[in-house]
Each structure stands twice: as C-alpha cells, then as structure tokens.
Amino acid sequence: MTGRMNRQILLKTRPEGAPSPDNFELTETPIPEPSEGEVLLRILYLSLDPYMRGRMNAAKSYAKPAEIGQPMVGGTVGEIVNSRHPNFSVGDVVLGYGGWQEYAISNGKGLRKLDATIAPVSTALGVLGMPGMTAYVGLLEVGQPKPDETVVVAAASGAVGSVVGQIAKLKGCHAVGIAGGSDKCRFVIGELGFDACVDHRSPDFAKELEAACPKGIDVYFENVGGAVQQTVWPLLNDFARIPVCGLIAQYNATSPMPGPDMFSVLRKRLLLRGFIVSDFAPKQPDFLRDVSEWVRTGRLKYREDIVDGLEKAPASFIGMLQGKNFGKMLVRIAV
C-alpha cells in the first residue's frame, strides 16, 4: 500500500447555524497499515445522516462530538483489503463506522459481515440498517399502531419516513406522509403505497393535512419538529402516541424554537417518548428478519440517492439538511 494515499474529509470548524463547505477540509494522508488484530477497509459506501449535524457541535449529547481535525464520523460499507484479524479475510464486505474517508483501520469491533446475495450491500446503511431499524422500533415499539389508526410521518420519502409509512400500511393503518414537493409526494403515494402525502411547502398545508386525516392522527412519528409539528399538533386524537425520533427542522437553529402545546399533552393524554435506535438493540434480529423478508418479497420498497466521490460528501450533507436529497443519502466512494 505504500505510496498510495487516503483521502479524508476532516471537521475543520464547528458551524454556527447551518453548516457550510468551509467547516470541512479535504486532505490526503498515506494509507495506513493494519497492526496485529486489525483490518484495513476500502470504503465502498459512506452514509450521510442527519445526526451528523449534532456531532459537529461541541455540546455533549447521547454521543461524543466529532473532533476538530479528525475525519467526520459516519457509517460505512467497506471491503477488507488487508487483514491481520483472525475473524476477517480479504474480500469480506462489512458494515462498520469508517467515517468520511476512502480507507479506514478497524480492530474488528462493531464490524458486521454482509451477504450481497440477500440485498445490495448499500442497503445495510439504509432500509436494512440504522434508519430502517429506527423506523421499525420507533413505530412498532413506541408508536404501537393498531389497525385502522392513522399514522403520520414527515420526511416521508426519506430513509426513516419511507419505512415508517410502509410498515404502517403492512399493519393495516391509514398512512399519511408529509414531504417537500410534489415529486416526493407522488413517489410516496405511487411507489411506496401510502394512502396520502401532503407537501409541507404548500400554502394550504394545514387544510390539506386535515383533509388527509379525516379521523385525526393516532400516531405522529416525529422526524422534523418546527412548523410541521405545529400543524400536526391540533389534529392529534386523544391518547395519540408520538415517537420523538428527530427534529431536523431545528438542527441548525441558533435559538430555541417554539415547542409543543403542553396543555394538549395533558388534556388529550398524549404519550410523547423520545428514543434513540440503540435503545432497542436487542430487537435487531427481529428487524433484520422482518424487513429483509418484506424487501425480498417487494412488500417494502426503498430508494437511494447516491452521489459519486468522497469530495461530494460536504455539499450532499448540507443539501440533505435542506431537503435536497430524495431517498437515503449515500456517497459511493469505490465499487
């Protein structure tokens, strides 16, 4: 490997508000050699996920911040190109956490071998990975949907939302998506099979959402917060459940945003429960069994938005926070 270089994208500075390309730096460093007990991964796919915005802040959260001067953190699918680890061989393709770079060293901890005969390996970062599992446990464990209930989810064409609505349909619910723009809404109804989808940028958003939910809302899978949340809130039924999964509309906010009406929480006996996908780690075998089968049999569809080249990661990540992605956002680094 000597002489060949590893391109990396480092976190250069922490953003105030929305991130910009200046917060990142593309550098080159020699490809490292694995020590005893380690493997060298050639990254095939890098996942871009909204949580990375939180990692760019210094503030303590449920996970450690990304460090200035270090490669940005991120889930990856990679091929082992050099192994000094007894459990991994050259040619194995693994899910891991290699970060925003072309090559990564791993001690094997947290690596999971992938079988390309089950599904394309990129799906391990989307529908059959962390976002798919988030939808599965968030809806079924926290949302507890019952047949004929109305389930509403925003960012409905995205990695998590697309799976939430399709599982809701599989469980006999009325599934309503919220998405940005008519192309996304058409896809959510036509391809994913939701009963309805409303464009949150429409001037009549509130009226259109009310019309799409004639029996009110029983489960609101909270992905975005902000103005969408304010519109959904009055439509909640008594005893509605709100799995609080993400608040992407608020990730770049520099001052607190208006919160939910707590009087409704009391009056309607609402159940709000925040969760992090890792809270439900023991459910992973159930998730992989059910969702792999639904994907294999075509009952659950997925869409990927793939850009080529590590250097595209910052702009694609910034775009995703503005809704420019259409499906699970991935960077193809090598295939």
Q: Residue 84 carries which side chain, given as an amino acid letter?
A: R
Q: Which of 223, 229, 231, 316 binds ligand NDP (CB under 6 A)?
A: 223
**30-61 burial by CB neighbour count: b if 16+ within 10 A, else e?**
ebeebeeebbbbbbbbbbbbbbbbbbbeeeee
Work out whether 200 is an interface residue with ligand NDP (CB under 6 A). Answer: yes
Of 191, 152, 190, 180, nearest to 168 by C-alpha is 152
Work out whether 224 is an interface residue with ligand NDP (CB under 6 A). Answer: yes
Q: Which of 74, 98, 145, 158 binds ligand NDP (CB under 6 A)?
A: 158
Q: Which of 43, 139, 168, 249 binds ligand NDP (CB under 6 A)?
A: 249
What sections of the chain are H helices per DSSP? 51-55, 130-137, 159-170, 182-190, 205-212, 226-232, 262-267, 284-296, 313-320
CB of 103 or CB of 294, closer to ligand NDP:
294
The CB-of-298 to ligand NDP minimum distance in angstroms stands at: 21
The string of DSSP letters for 36-51 reads TT-EEEEEEEEE--TH
The CB-of-303 to ligand NDP minimum distance in angstroms stands at: 9
- Pick out residues in 112-131 that bind ligand NDP (CB under 6 A): 131
Q: Which of 19, 34, 50, 143 binds ligand NDP (CB under 6 A)?
A: 50
Of 236, 242, 213, 214, nearest to 145 by C-alpha is 242
- Where along the sequence are the contacts to ligand NDP (CB under 6 A)? 49-51, 131, 134, 154-155, 157-161, 179-180, 184, 200, 223-224, 226, 228, 245-246, 248-249, 275-277, 320, 323, 325, 328-329
